Structures are given as C-alpha cells and as structure tokens.
Structure 1
C-alpha cells in the first residue's frame, strides 16, 4: 500500500473525518485531502508526527508489505547473531562493515 492509501486507512480505521484528522495531526484540512489524493507527500517530521499520533511505524506508512523484509536465510542468521555475546556481535558488525566497504570500492571502480 502506498502512503495515500495508508493515510486514508488510518483516518477511516480511527473513524475520523478529514477535519478531525487534520486536527489530530496538526495540519490544514487541505493537506489531508492532498495526502489522501496522492497529490503531496509529507515531510519526515510530519511522518514521525503521524506515526506517533496513531501508534504505527513510519515503515508501515511508506513501504509496501514485505518490501523491507530480509530473505529467510538472512533473517534466521541475524536472529542467531542477536543471541550472541556483545563481543561476537561487534566482530560480526565489523565483518559486515568490511564487506560494505569492499562492495562500495568495487562499484566505484566500475564507474570510474
């Protein structure tokens, strides 16, 4: 679902009119209408304000279902890492950081 759809869903799920939604979020009703119609996108600060007001995450408001999910193999590995000692987690973080640097360097070589 896109932001306009989620924004509208929040309003309807909470049985709010557009004026009530505007008041709850602290924006003008015209802006509510523009968001619902997909004619405008909120600022990051406003996204945070909406998420806080309705107890949802900003990820839920802007990403499609599953768009940010990890592949199952990685998800299981990260869950296992979360059970390790702090020292082992720092070591794994360093390894991941090193792989990111290696990947970025190879990308830069291809461009340059």
Structure 2
C-alpha cells in the first residue's frame, strides 16, 4: 500500500486527492471547437503550433494525444488556458452543493481566505489519512 506523502509546509497536491470528473466532451472535441471559434483552419493552427497538419488532425480525431509542450503551444495559439483544452466546463470546479460556499469565500479578506484554506487542507489530509489507513486507497 502506498502512502500519501505531503509536505506540511507546501500546499496539498489536490491532483493526487481529487479524482477528475469525466465528461462526454473530451480533449479532441474541445480542441476542434476552440479552433473553429477562433476561425482557424487546421493548417493555420498547425503552423502556429509548430506541428504537422496531419498530427493536428490526429489530435482532433482523438487518435493521438499531444505532449505537454504541444498543449502549451495550442493554448497560446488559441488564446486559451491549458485547463480549457484539457477539462470540461465543470470538470474541475466544486460540486454544486459547495459552489455557493466557495463563491462566498472568494469575497473574504486575504487573511480569512488563508484560514479557510488551512482548514480545508487539514480536512483533506485527515480524510486521505483515514482512507489510506483503512486500505481503500
């Protein structure tokens, strides 16, 4: 059994703790939609990104996955974030039952946000420790 090693001084690695929610609309569809939204042809985008047009077609068909460097170049060329390319609209946000609370917290002072973040980090670490010690990790 692996243990979740978290440096108590650094922020919690939420990627290891929070499983992604999957959506029907994957990377290939988001890439094609963003390209069309920017009125770019596949040839134009491939030139801006520095990949062959056939490779870009494979990305849009879902038959190939780009490297991190290519994702970065795609994001820059499309004026988007890597998150917009990689994740669906609600894939990384809070569940609906927490959305209003997080919206309210966003209006807190910097010091109040620090307290809330510390509380959340503690709760997440406690939850993960309990999950790993019970063997359901």
Q: TM-score when scaled to structure 1?
A: 0.83
- Where in structure 1 are there 5+ consecutive unaligned residues? none
CA displacement 1:46-100 (0-9 Å, x = unmatched): 2122112111222222223422232333121112212222222111111111111
Report the equivalent of 1:11.
35
Greater C-alpha Rg: 1
Specify which of 44, 49, 54 is matched with residue 73 of structure 2.
Answer: 49
Aligned residues: 112
Cα distance in 2, alignment partners of residues 103 and 37 from structure 1 = 39
CA displacement 1:21-46 (0-9 Å, x = unmatched): 21011111221121122111112222
- Where in structure 2 are there 5+ consecutive unaligned residues? 1-24
Cα distance in 2, alignment partners of residues 103 and 35 from structure 1 = 38
CA RMSD in angstroms, aligned pairs only: 2.0
Report the equivalent of 1:88.
112
